Chain A
Amino acid sequence: MDLSAINPILLLASLMVAATPILLAAIGELVVERAGVLNLGVEGMMITGAVCGFIVTINAGSPLLGFAGAAIGGALLALVFGVLTQVLLSNQVATGLALTLFGLGFAALLGQGYIGIKAPVIPKWPVPVLSDIPVIGPILFNHDPVVYLGIAIIAGVWAFLRYSRAGLILRAVGENHDAAHALGYHVIRVRLLAIMFGGACAGLGGAYLSLVRVPQWTEGLTAGAGWIALAIVVFASWRPWRLLLGAYLFGGVTVLQLNLQAAGMAIPVAYLSMAPYLATILVLVMMRAGRAPGSLAQSFHASR
């Protein structure tokens, strides 16, 4: 094995890229869970976003439109979940699972004619001046725009939840939906909007996989990324900045594992590829989760 073949700067730079899809999906789910809804369909929304983004990019020739299409596709699929759980009051756990099963099939159906096509390369956007700093420059400031967008969304969600009135209402709905209803807030409307935001973010994360990470369409290409995103939300105790930390941790494990495979480590590939999943379990065990939102996964029905 030749460990000197692993360049630490490239490793850290690719860590940021590897973390981005999980990070995007997780920040969306964080908002959904802060509104008191548990959507286990992240994997399904991600893969639907992946295929929608890929199809739009190939047909329209623009990755920007592709990401927009992915966000819309993810949000529409999330709306199905929203209508079922919020209007028809179905069990959130079961509906989320159904969304994943449906999304996997639906994405495979949509993507049939697109297997084996390569996505256009998305140019990097080096930040002027900053990207010229040695070591830090190539790690932090020489990426494609979606990496920056992911971090911007985290900052935005943090500010929204902490400082805005709408963020306060969303948290109130998540902590105690009966009290929020009594105060005159529209619990179901707030939750539907949060669910759609979560779907759009998951769609973006999926599109990042199919357009940048892989970059082509294969069936089942998310390979559990959506579930890891769900785990990271618990790991982060529903706080945006800790979520960033969690996503980088998992990005790091994934990238390190791939690098060790390439460096020809004595451990068989099959065991190395277990690493991200085992790391997720380990972290779930070690991190005592913080307090979950009070009304998480409970259906709301305004009785009179």
Chain B
Amino acid sequence: MIRLEKRTAPSRFWTYAAPLLAVVLTMVCGALLFAALGKDPFETIRTIFWDPLFSEFSWYYRPQLLIKAAPLVLIAIGLSFGFRAGVWNIGAEGQYILGAICGAAVGLAFYPTESPFIFPLMVMAGALGGWAWAMIPGFLRVRFGTNEILVSLMLVYVAQSLLASMALGALRNPDASGFPGSRNLARYPSATSWINESAGLHWGVVFALIAVIFAYITLSRHIFGFHVRLSGQSPRAARFAGVNPGLLVLICMAISGALAGLAGLFEVAGPSGLISIDFNAGYGFTAIIVAFLGRLHPVGILLAAGLMALTYIGGEIAQSNLRLPAAAIQVLQGMLLFFLLAVDVLTHYRIRLTARGVA
């Protein structure tokens, strides 16, 4: 009979090996799924995980990886603070949309003036937009004890409606003869977030790297990081250590909201270019997978975002070359999260085989 025995401390080996095992298991199950869909499993797996990096067209795909990974890193780093402290901000998608709307609105307000101050103002507006949207569930939890998971999620749907009304109304391009969507910010030199478009480099990539370093130092060296980790592991001990739980909730929500807002702004001012009904690509939800896959650790998140970007780009290649349905990639990403959660048991428990009936 198989029995689980709790380890006194999490296994160091499995902390690192478990995500790798999860990736391998996902590849195996993914191959079975692709075979069931009538595709060659080996070719599909190679297309998704290998071609974007090392095929003859990788010069085109590698910058794309950077573009996909940057918003995921930004959002996931923000979420990791809250998730460590037991603050479940699930509405990053909404904060991302609001950051994009606010930032783009500032940029469009200045159109067509050129000034080096416009982009920094947009960055601030984007961060503030995401921050304000995240403060709603944060404040409601601290003041009224409402569940932040539900409130932040409801606000995603509100944000999507708001985005639709902005793309069709206030922010619509007046020169587009009635087509929905705003002016293209990527073609407005003072407002674009591109640094080098052909290399896939935009300010979001730079900010993502800064966020990783900032989060690493904060979590491992600063008292605030200690309070965050303590609150997650033992809320009672945290109270004795002098942590103000309400303030911690607000700070965690503020960090994740502002970073999600930034991600939205960089996306709308660069790769996406304009506010349209569906410019958001679900990064806010995928970032949740990234945060867990990276074990809520900044460096882990960096690697996880790279892997997730790989499945996105590889999935797009498989979609166009092998006619793999887009939903299959979503299923693959869901499976990855399932396997990761499943193999986590190895980190905290030891598996023992015992004779049946021994109790």
Interface-side segment among B57-65, B119-127, B140-148 = B140-148
Encode B201-212 as 1/0 by CB contact (under 8 A) with A. 000000000000
Residues in chain A near residue B348, CB distance under 8 A: 89
- Interface residue? A152 (CB, 8 A): no
Contact at A102–B331, with CB atoms within 8 Å? yes
Residues in chain B near residue A95, CB distance under 8 A: 338, 341
Residues in chain A near residue B341, CB distance under 8 A: 84, 88, 90-91, 94-95, 98
- Return the chain A residue nearest B147 by Cβ: A234
Residues in chain B near residue A271, CB distance under 8 A: 161, 165
Encode A69-106 as 1/0 by CB contact (under 8 A) with B. 00000000000100010001111011101100111111
**Residue among A223, A273, A277 making CB contact with B155, cutoff 8 Å:** A277
Residues in chain B near residue A103, CB distance under 8 A: 334
Contact at B153–A227, with CB atoms within 8 Å? yes
Cβ contacts A to B, 27 pairs, < 8 Å: A90-B345, A93-B88, A94-B292, A98-B341, A101-B330, A101-B333, A101-B334, A102-B331, A102-B335, A105-B329, A105-B330, A105-B333, A106-B331, A108-B327, A112-B327, A230-B150, A268-B165, A270-B161, A271-B165, A278-B158, A281-B140, A284-B147, A284-B151, A285-B144, A285-B146, A301-B6, A301-B349
Residues in chain B near residue A59, CB distance under 8 A: none
Given contacts A89-B4, A94-B341, A105-B333, contact A234 B349 (CB under 8 A): no
- Interface residue? B246 (CB, 8 A): no
How near does chain A come to B327, taking the closest CB pair, in angstroms?
A: 4
Residues in chain A near residue B335, CB distance under 8 A: 102
How near does chain B come to A246, taking the closest CB pair, in angstroms?
A: 13
In this complex, the interface size class of chain B, counting residues with CB under 8 Å from chain A, is 35 or more
- Interface residue? B285 (CB, 8 A): yes
**Residue among A88, A112, A270 making CB contact with B342, cutoff 8 Å:** A88
Contact at A84–B330, with CB atoms within 8 Å? no
A288 to B157, CA, bound (A): 24
In this complex, the interface size class of chain A, counting residues with CB under 8 Å from chain B, is 35 or more
How near does chain B come to A106, taking the closest CB pair, in angstroms?
A: 5
Given contacts A84-B338, A108-B327, A109-B325, contact A89 B349 (CB under 8 A): yes
Given contacts A89-B349, A108-B326, 15 further A-B contacts (CB under 8 A): A98-B289, A101-B333, A102-B337, A105-B331, A108-B327, A224-B156, A228-B154, A230-B150, A274-B158, A277-B158, A280-B150, A280-B154, A281-B140, A281-B150, A281-B155
Residues in chain A near residue B158, CB distance under 8 A: 274, 277-278
How near does chain A come to B95, taking the closest CB pair, in angstroms?
A: 15
Residues in chain A near residue B337, CB distance under 8 A: 94, 97-98, 101-102
- Interface residue? B288 (CB, 8 A): yes
The 9 closest A-B pairs by CB, nearest first: A102-B334, A105-B330, A270-B165, A108-B327, A90-B341, A109-B327, A98-B337, A105-B331, A277-B154
